[in-house]
Structure 1
Amino acid sequence: MFSSLTFHLIVFGIAALSIVLAGSRLARLADELADRTGMGEAMFGVLLLAGVTSLPDFAATLSAAMDSRPDLAMSNVMGSMAVNLVFLGIADIVYRKANLEHAAASPVNLMLAGLLIVLLTLPLLAIVTPSVSFWGVHPVTPVIVVAYLFGLHLVHQTQSIPMWFPRSTRQTVPDKPEKQHHGSLAATWLGFIALALVTCIAGWMVMESAKGIADHTGLSDTLVGGLFTALATSTPELVTTIAAIRYGALTLAVSNIFGTNCFNILVVAAADAGYPHNSIYHDMSPVQMTWGLVSILMTAILLLGMVRRETYGIGRIGFESALILSVYVIALGIIVLNG
Structure 2
Amino acid sequence: MPLTLFLFIVGVGLLVGGAELLVRGASRLAGSFGVSPLVVGLTVVAFGTSAPELAVSVQASFDGRSDLAFGNVVGSNIANILLILGLAAVVTPLVVSRQLVRLDVPLMIAASVLLYLMALDGSISRVEGIVLFIGVVTYTTLLIRYGRRETALARAEAGIESAPPGGPWVANAALVAVGLGLLVLGSWWLVNGAVAIATALGVSELIIGLTVVAVGTSMPEIATSVLASIR
Q: TM-score, normalised by structure 2?
A: 0.75
Matched, 1:117 2:94: no
Give me the whole-angstrom Cα distance separating, in 2, the residues matched to 1:152 and 1:110: 17
1:228-247 correspondence runs (5 A): 228-244=212-228
Structure 2 matches for 1:116-265, cutoff 5 A? Answer: 116-128=108-120, 137=125, 139-161=127-149, 183-244=167-228
**Structure 1: which 5+ residue stretches go unaligned?**
163-176, 249-339
**Aligned residue in 1 for 2:154:** none
Count of matched residue pairs: 219
1:90 to 87, 108, 115: 87
Deviation at 1:75, TM superposition (A): 0.9
Pairing of 1:3-152 with structure 2 (within 5 A): 5-24=1-20, 32=28, 36-85=32-81, 86-94=83-91, 96=92, 99-102=93-96, 105=97, 107=99, 111-128=103-120, 137=125, 139-152=127-140
Deviations 1:195-254 (A, max 9, x none): 2331332122111110011112212222211111111112122223345556x5xxxxxx
Partner-residue secondary structure (3-state), 2:64: coil
Q: Percent identity?
A: 24
Change (3 A) 1:156 1:28: closer
Contact 1:59 1:201 in 2 (8 A): no
Deviation at 1:34, TM superposition (A): 6.0
Give the whole-Å Cα distance in 2 for the aligned partners of 1:202 and 1:109: 35
Larger relative CO (CA 8 A, sep 6+): 1 or 2?
A: 2
- Secondary structure, counterpart of 1:79 in structure 2: helix
Q: Summarize the Cα distance change of 1:48–1:217 in structure 2 as closer, same or farther, 3 Å threshold.
A: same
CA distance in 2 between partners of 1:138 and 1:188 (Å): 34
Tell me if the contact between 1:56 and 1:201 (Cα under 8 Å) persists in the aligned partners: no
Deviations 1:144-192, CA, capped at 9 Å, x for gaps? 1222222223223333446xxxxxxxxxxxxxx99697x5343234223
- Matches of 1:161 and 1:107 in 2, distance apart? 15
Which consecutive unaligned segments of at least 5 residues does structure 2 have? 151-161
How many Å separate the matches in 2 of 1:245 and 1:24? 18
Q: Is the CA contact (8 Å cut-off) linking 1:77 and 1:230 kept in structure 2?
A: yes
**How has the CA–CA distance of structure 1 residues 201 and 51 changed in structure 2, closer, same or farther, with 3 Å as cutoff?**
farther
Matched residue, 1:272: none
Distance (whole Å) between structure 2 residues aligned to residue 117 and residue 74 of structure 1 = 18
Greater fraction of residues in helix: 2
Post-superposition shift, 1:12? 0.5
CA contact (8 A) 2:51 2:183 kept: yes
Q: Report the secondary structure of 1:101's partner residue.
A: coil
Offset at residue 30 of structure 1 (A): 6.0
Residues 257-280 of structure 1 show CA distances to partners (whole Å, capped at 9, x for unaligned) of xxxxxxxxxxxxxxxxxxxxxxxx
Scaled by the length of structure 1, the TM-score of the pair is 0.54
User: Does the CA contact (< 8 Å) of 1:9 and 1:213 recur in 2?
Assistant: yes
Which whole-Å deviations, capped at 9, do the CAs of 1:37-72 have from their partners, x for residues lacking one? 543444323432333332322222223333333322
How far apart, CA to CA, are the structure 2 residues paired with 1:180 and 1:244? 24
Contact 1:26 1:192 in 2 (8 A): yes
Equivalent residue, structure 2, for 1:291: none
Change beyond 3 A, Cα 1:241–1:31: farther
